[in-house]
Amino acid sequence: MSSPSNPRRPRPDGRAPLRAEWDPINSTAATSGDQRNRPLRERRYAKQGRLGRILRTYGWRAYAVPVLAVLTAVALVVTFWGNPFATEHRTDGATENLSRNPTPEKTIVGAPSKVVPGPVPPAGMLPVGGQFTEKGQGIWHVVPGATPKVGEGRQQTFTYMIAVEDGVDMSALSGDQAFAAMIDKTLSDPRSWIHDPAVAFQRIDKGTPTFTISLTSPMTTRSACGYTIQLESSCYNGELGRVVINLARWVRGATAFEGDLTGYRQYAINHEVGHAIGYAQHVPCPAQGALAPIMMQQSFGVKNRDIFDLDKSEGYDNDLTCRPNAWVAPTLK
């Protein structure tokens, strides 16, 4: 029977040892027949203990395997949870880009999701009107300014920021602050969402808001909202936490509003913010001649049939036609 200390004993599977062996002490003893060196060798390794035997047997592998295991674990953490040591890069604390704080479990809400099978109904086409920037830079700057809380907020106070895409020419729109003023005035109106005591709003320009309301060029809007139906639309992008207001619609409005640009802008704000605060579903016209529900897709028309031809949504397969409406609770003022 071979000695347990013999480094050349075969492995249990019959293959060669894991490392090449060269043992001048044992080789000398084997060739000369002198066994006096064997006790010395055994005593020396006995003093080294378990760790010493592992290092002697496996050499550099004893160091490499634990290191590789740690590196593999770190790689898995970074892959599935992101780099825990990374910090978010923001150039000046008030610039945001398309990839800000993505939350993949949330989806785009507001734009139609199906491909139009035939011609686009005229009611959804962009009216003629003023010029606008077709494509911005895909980065938004926050418009400075904050407001007190409006509404009771018995269940939740939603904070919001206001932003404008870099590269958008705002000269014909009286600048960023005019856009912001329209947002603030609309959301603080008692006909808006604050008619419900559960809801309140407060504008901030620092920190992390519940959502950001962003004036956005049409080409960037298509990236953020999709363009399966080739009509200019706005949306709420839950992955970005962003209400995306299409600049083309802000400048020209919608056919259904018959040139009432202020009314259309109020509608666009209330509708898309409705998505942001949890009203995901669109609503059809309920009765002939009624005011359109705020969550009806009035950018594409106020006749159920026009919207049904775009999206085949349940409840729209009829000829009921409503009147355009900008407010959640239009009778309160």
Taking only the tens place, the pLDDT of each residue in 192-238 is 999 999 999 999 999 999 999 999 999 999 999 988 888 999 999 99
Residue 284: is its pLDDT beyond 50?
Answer: yes
Q: Where are the domains of the chain?
A: 1-86, 95-255+265-278
Over pLDDT 70: what percentage of the chain?
A: 64
Looking at residue 72, what is its pLDDT?
60
Question: Do residues 97 and 214 lie in contact, with contact meaning Cβ atoms separated by under 8 Å?
Answer: no
Residue 129: is its pLDDT beyond 90?
Answer: yes
Query: Which of 3-17, 277-291, 294-308, 313-327 is predicted with the least confidence, judged by mean pLDDT?
Result: 3-17
What's the chain's average pLDDT?
77
Residue 332: is its pLDDT beyond 90?
Answer: no
Looking at residue 13, what is its pLDDT?
37
Structure tokens at 310: 């775009």
In the chain, DSSP finds a helix count (H) and a strand count (E) of 8, 8
Helices (H), the chain: 24-32, 37-58, 61-81, 176-187, 218-225, 247-252, 261-276, 304-311
Task: Return the number of other C-beta atoms located less than 10 Å from residue 32's C-beta.
Answer: 10
Separation between Cα atoms, residue 266 and residue 183, nearest integer Å:
8
| Helix H or strand E encompassing 161 | strand 156-165
Separation between Cα atoms, residue 204 and residue 252, nearest integer Å:
28
Bridge-partner residues for 157, per DSSP? 200
Looking at residue 268, what is its pLDDT?
98
Reduced to 3 states (helix: H, G, I; strand: E, B; else coil), residue 216 is strand
Looking at residue 215, what is its pLDDT?
98
Residue 161: is its pLDDT beyond 60?
Answer: yes
Residue 148: is its pLDDT beyond 90?
Answer: yes
Residue 121 pLDDT grade (very low, low, confident, very high; cuts 50, 70, 90): confident
**Mean pLDDT of the 298-323 span:** 89
**Mean pLDDT of the 282-303 span:** 96
Reduced to 3 states (helix: H, G, I; strand: E, B; else coil), residue 56 is helix
Looking at residue 311, what is its pLDDT?
75
Looking at residue 163, what is its pLDDT?
98
- Could you read off the pLDDT of 175-192 as tens digits, one per residue? 999 999 999 999 999 999
Residue 41: is its pLDDT beyond 60?
Answer: no
**Mean pLDDT of the 308-323 span:** 86
Separation between Cα atoms, residue 180 and residue 115, nearest integer Å:
34
- Say how far residue 143 (Cα) sits from the centre of its chain: 21
Pairwise pLDDT comparison (311 vs 9), residue with the higher score: 311
Separation between Cα atoms, residue 96 and residue 157, nearest integer Å:
23
Looking at residue 66, what is its pLDDT?
63
Task: Return the number of other C-beta atoms located less than 10 Å from residue 226's C-beta.
Answer: 16
Residue 216 burial by Cβ neighbours in a 10 Å radius (0-12, 13-18, 19+): buried
- How many angstroms separate the Cα of 47 from the Cα of each of 43, 44, 58, 62, 209? 6, 5, 18, 19, 65
- Could you read off the pLDDT of 62-98 as tens digits, one per residue? 555 666 666 666 455 443 443 333 333 333 334 444 4
Residue 286 pLDDT grade (very low, low, confident, very high; cuts 50, 70, 90): very high
- Could you read off the pLDDT of 226-255 as tens digits, one per residue? 888 889 999 999 999 999 999 999 999 999
Pairwise pLDDT comparison (123 vs 251), residue with the higher score: 251
Residue 102 pLDDT grade (very low, low, confident, very high; cuts 50, 70, 90): very low
Looking at residue 40, what is its pLDDT?
34
Question: Do residues 243 and 212 lie in contact, with contact meaning Cβ atoms separated by under 8 Å?
Answer: yes
Residue 104 pLDDT grade (very low, low, confident, very high; cuts 50, 70, 90): very low
Separation between Cα atoms, residue 313 and residue 304, nearest integer Å:
10
